[in-house]
Each structure stands twice: as C-alpha cells, then as structure tokens.
Structure 1
Amino acid sequence: MTFQQVSEPYDAYDVLVVGGSGVDTVVPVGALPLPPTDSAAVPPIREAVGHTGTGVALGCAALGLTTGFVDFIGDDHPGSLVRERMAAGGVDFRPLISPHGTRRAVNLVSPDGRRTSFHDARDPLDLRMPPEHYLPALRRARHVHVSITHFARFLYDDIEALGLPVSTDLHDWDGLTEHHREFALRSDLVFLSTSGAGERIASVMREIVHEGRAQAVIATAGAGGAYLLAADDRSPRPVPAVVPSGPVVDTHGAGDAFTCGFLYGRHLGRSLEDCARLGAVAGAHACTSAGTYTDLIGPEVLRTVPGTTPPPAAPPQSAPPQAAAPHPAAPPGAGLAGPPDDRVSPAGA
C-alpha cells in the first residue's frame, strides 16, 4: 500500500465514514430468483460507484453534513471512479492504495426493484490502515460510521479513546456470524436488516443492547417499515413504512439512505423515534431511482417531515472531542417502550 500526506481543508467532520467503498455492476434481470438457463438477454448493464460506505458518505454529504471518508481503493479504473464520485458529491475522501484493488459487486435487479448482490470481498485479513492516516481524521470527527470491512474493526480502540459516538450497519446479520459481532457490540447506534435473523430479530436486537454499548438498534424491514429498540426498551417498537413518492425501481441503497436520514436527525438533536421516521423517508426515496446512489435525498425534503422533538435553531457547532470522555451521543428519546410481545415478524429486506 502507499501513504500520501494530504492537506486538511476541514476543521471538523459531522460524520466520518470508515471503509466500504467499491464499484457495482448492475444487471437488470427478468425475475428473481433467476430461472435455470445457460444464457439470457438483458437490458444494458451499468457500472457505477456503490457499496455501503460510499452510500453513507454520499448520502450524508447530500444532506448538508460535512463528511469525511477513509478507506482502501486500488490503483485501477474502479478506484478512479470512486475518487471522481466522492469529489463530485462533496465528500472529503482520504484513500490509501491497496495492491489488492478496489472492491467490486454484481447486483441483479428485477423489474419490481428487488435485488441480489454478489460482493467481492477481496481485502485480505491482514490488511491494516496505519494510525497516521486515520487518526487526524478521527480527531476532527463528531460522529464515526464504521462499515463492516475487516480492517475497520481495528479502529475501535482509538474511536473509544477519543470518546466519539459511533454507528455501524450489520446488513443481513443472522446474529450468529462472528465477523459482525464486534461491530455490533462496540457501536452506539446499530443498523441491520430483518432479513438475516428472520423471526429471531427481536432477540438479536436485545442481545446487541444488553451485551454491548448500543443506545439504540434499528432493524429495517423493507416495505414492512422498521423496528427500533432503545436501551431502556423491553421490546422493539415498530416504525411505519413510508410510501415512496414514485414507482419502486431499485431497492439497492435504501438501507444506506435510511442510515443517512437517521444520522441527519441525530445531528439536529431529534429523538430516536423522529430519526427513524426521517430514515424511513430517505429509504423510500432511494427506491424510486435506478442504479446506486443516483438520486440522493436532500435536507429540504427531510425538514418537512413532522416530528415529536422540535429541532434546534441550528445544527450543533461544538468542536469535536479530543480526549477520552463519556460517550457524548444524545440519550435515547422518551416514550419508546414497545409492546409486550417480543416477536417481530420481518416483512422484507
């Protein structure tokens, strides 16, 4: 890998994203699952910058949050695409060059917007980001969002030492796979999909809260809305789904958009319940555009969403913490106790 010193144009980041960049090859297919066939004609195949860290970084920047991003990419054509898209999206991207190349994925998308993604997790297990690269960015961050790329787990000690609030997205974690567990238990806000754990999702959410440091766990359920479990809740609280403003074209990136809407709400000091509502609006918006991160929701839309907590007159402007301190994230909102039934039925990915 190569390391390059760069200038520091930002005094602080509202959100610093760690890991999760890449390029998607999007293949439109007639139906999912695929029928058994040796070959099939499809509409034009598209190549676009994608992956979860990219989505969170671009989405937060589109919402007006000052956004930084540290990751590995390759010295290759996909890496150039990532650099260009980050620059165009207003993200302060600080990459290191990995000899293993830029991550890729192939996404099969059906006419009803459902998708199957094949992720190329090419990073070797011994890949590490040197502290001299990421520490300057961490010291300017107000919030850190960690993608579940393997190298990113080794930043948690420094994140905790700086007293920074941190979020992560476990995607379709089943609650069993060990790769995800450290991310789940060392983050203040934990996002995941109901599709992995199925009917066990409520138990998985409670385990994250009880065994880790999470102030809230949010499980998205596609057209079924989402579920919110705060640290003082007994059971997950349902979050109603939002009807998209247009036809559902491609659900890829909806979870990342949900995360961005939620983090935007937290930045404004909104309650957990209000943040989940903003996330649902952003996720529904993402489903109405083809491709990955091609039509990002802006703050003017989310500002019109009613909530239970009036936002401050202006976003917080406090300097980022520089030394170890108690976790500064806002406390969970009141009135979030869920129903006595602890079973949550998933309604989609």
Structure 2
Amino acid sequence: MVPRQAAYDVVVVGGSGVDTVVRVGSLPVPLADSVSVGPIREWPGHTGGNVALGAGALGLTVALLDYIGDDWIGAQVRERLAEGEVEFAPLISPAGTRRAVNLVDAAGRRMSFYDGRDPAGLRMPRDHYLPWLRRTRHVHLSIMNFARFLYDDIEELGVPVSTDLHDWDGLADHHREFALRSDLVFLSAAGAGEHTPALMREILREGRAETVVATAGADGAYLLTRDGGPTPQHVPAAVPPAPIVDSNGAGDAFVCGFLYGRLAGRDVRECARLGAVAGAYACTAPGSTALISGEALHAADRIGDDVA
C-alpha cells in the first residue's frame, strides 16, 4: 500500500482490535456458575484504533499502520476505520486480530481481559511504514512489541513521537523503552498509584520526554514538564455533557484532545484541558463510540474558560 495523502497530522502505529463489552451490576463480579447480564456488544477500536478514530473525528488527517488477522474480527476493524475515514494500512498477522473482554459496571468503570496475541518475533517491514513516517507531523506508537523497532527511524527522521503506557507500574520491562524514547508520554495513575509523581520524574530524568501526563479518571490528570518544577501540576477533570455510561476509550480520547492542542500550537496545560474535555465526552456512550468533533471540543473549551 502507498499513502493516499501528501501529508498527515498523525500516524498511529499498532493497537487495533475488538472489545467485547459485558455490562455487569458491580465489580468485582460475584463468583457464580452463571450471571445474567445485559446485551453483550462488540466494539472495534482498542487503543490505537481509538486514537486514530478520535483524532480523525477532531478533523486531523490520520493514518493507522498495524497488524490484524485475516478473520471476521479483523473485518470489523477494517469496517469501523473506514466508517471513521481513517486511512488504514494493515498487514496480516498469522496469530489473528487482537481481542479484549471488558466488564463494565453500572458506574461505567471497567475491567479488561486483554488478548494481545502478537507473536514475539513479529516485525513491521521498513518499506511498509517509512512512506507514512516521512509524511507525518507526529507519530503515536501503541505499546505493541513490534512498534519499538520503529524508534530508530523515527529519530532519524526527526518526527515527534508519543506513546501511552496505560497502567504501567514503572517495573515491567516491556514499557520501559517506550517510556524513555518518546517525546510525549501518557500513562494512567492507576498503575503506579502513589508512586506516580516519582515515576513521572524518572521518565523525564532518564528519557527524552519533554512532557509526561498521568491521567487519573474522575480526579483529572497530572502534568509534568522539564521546565515546570518537580511537582506535577493538577489538571481538573472536565464535566461530562451527559451521564457517564462507559469509560472504555476515555484515556485514548484524552490523548486525542491533547495531540489536537499540541498540533495547533497550544501550551501544554491547554492541551491537557482539551484532553480532559475529550476524555469526559468519551464516557457518555457505550464502547468507544463517543468521538468528540473539533467544533464541540472548542465549544466545551470556551465554556471551561467562562467557568474558570
């Protein structure tokens, strides 16, 4: 495949798949032989797909490079990305398309059972990804193992790169290279808990990142930059415009809002506020279907300015 656009705002690498969402009364689920639940739904997306779709909904020109299976699950991914007008350049993995089963309680909280299934030796050929990397303003790497092997070429091209470590506790080796070789790092405070500020400082100290953002759900987010002092700045959570239904994809939406602001030249705190607005919006519909538009993001941002 060859790129269809002369230039891209964001190229996302890795992280597509399908979530099977099961709504339960509470978490953890009581031990029982059988539990009655509501309708079980399948939502194509996953972290890379969600970032690509969310960035596209904001009006950015986006491409997604990834491996999927030659299976009915992969067909769902293709269809969803086509509906979202995301340029998708997939390669076929013999292991099939990634999946997850997500339990979601009445408050919208989730517990995910993730089946990554990529073979350890999977690699993306340079002649597949380089044409897109040469045409983009920004690269976002999902933490698929094969994606780490793109860093040398990304650095040589001088393209800014971000990643989302999700619930990294600071110990698992898989995440470390992504943490230390990205210019912009996102993570969830759920992984490191009270050690999150120390982990953010470690990423800045040991790696190349200029900015680290830790999302904290209803508590908002925390922002740390090289020139902002040792204490992370708190960014309040945005108020969702409708009742919370499902937190699937909220962190990915935060990334989209932040990147949208960054590519528009906004300062990092404004970018984080845009991320908070997009993340709150994502919680108002099932699965990862609530994708905020650029117009709605700007309108909510103006309301936030008025409230402040």
**TM-score category (smaller protein):** over 0.9
Partner of 2:237: 241
- Aligned: 1:157 with 2:152: yes
The CA distance in 1 between the partners of 2:262 and 2:222, in whole Å, is: 17
> 1:276-314 deviations in whole A, cap 9, x for unaligned?
00000000000111122x1200000222314999xxxxx
The 5 Å alignment of 1:149-298 reads: 149-233=144-228, 234-292=230-288, 294-298=289-293
> How far did 1:75 drift?
0.3
Partner of 1:10: 5
With the length of structure 2 as denominator, give the TM-score of the two structures: 0.96
> How far did 1:7 drift?
3.9
Match for residue 119 of structure 2 among 117, 121, 124: 124
The 5 Å alignment of 1:40-55 reads: 40-55=35-50
The CA distance in 2 between the partners of 1:174 and 1:64, in whole Å, is: 34
> How far did 1:50 drift?
2.2
- Aligned: 1:136 with 2:131: yes
The CA distance in 1 between the partners of 2:144 and 2:53, in whole Å, is: 18
Partner of 1:99: 94
Structure 2 residue ranges without an equivalent (≥5): none
The CA distance in 2 between the partners of 1:91 and 1:7, in whole Å, is: 14
Partner of 2:141: 146
Kindly report the root-mean-square deviation, in angstroms, between the aligned alpha carbons of the 2 structures.
1.3
Structure 1 residue ranges without an equivalent (≥5): 1-5, 310-349
Partner of 1:328: none
The CA distance in 2 between the partners of 1:213 and 1:200, in whole Å, is: 20
SS in 1 for 2:247: coil
- Corresponding pairs, count: 303
> 1:169-208 deviations in whole A, cap 9, x for unaligned?
0000001111000000000110000000000000000000
SS in 2 for 1:303: helix
SS in 1 for 2:269: helix
Aligned partners of 1:173 and 1:196 also within 8 Å: yes
Partner of 1:26: 21
Compare the two structures and name the one with the higher helix fraction. 2
The CA distance in 2 between the partners of 1:189 and 1:308, in whole Å, is: 24
With the length of structure 1 as denominator, give the TM-score of the two structures: 0.85
The one-letter amino acid paired with 1:262 is F
The CA distance in 2 between the partners of 1:195 and 1:291, in whole Å, is: 20
Aligned partners of 1:274 and 1:307 also within 8 Å: no
The one-letter amino acid paired with 1:130 is P
The one-letter amino acid paired with 1:222 is G
Q: Runs of 4+ in structure 1 displaced over 6 angstroms?
A: none
Taking structure 1 as reference, are residues 161 and 308 closer, same or farther at Cα in structure 2, changes over 3 Å only? farther
Aligned partners of 2:283 and 2:290 also within 8 Å: no
The one-letter amino acid paired with 1:230 is T
> 1:127-182 deviations in whole A, cap 9, x for unaligned?
00110100111111110000001000000000000000000000000011110000
> How far did 1:8 drift?
2.9
Partner of 1:329: none
The CA distance in 2 between the partners of 1:257 and 1:73, in whole Å, is: 22
The CA distance in 2 between the partners of 1:295 and 1:240, in whole Å, is: 21
> 1:234-284 deviations in whole A, cap 9, x for unaligned?
210000111111111101100000000000001110000000000000000
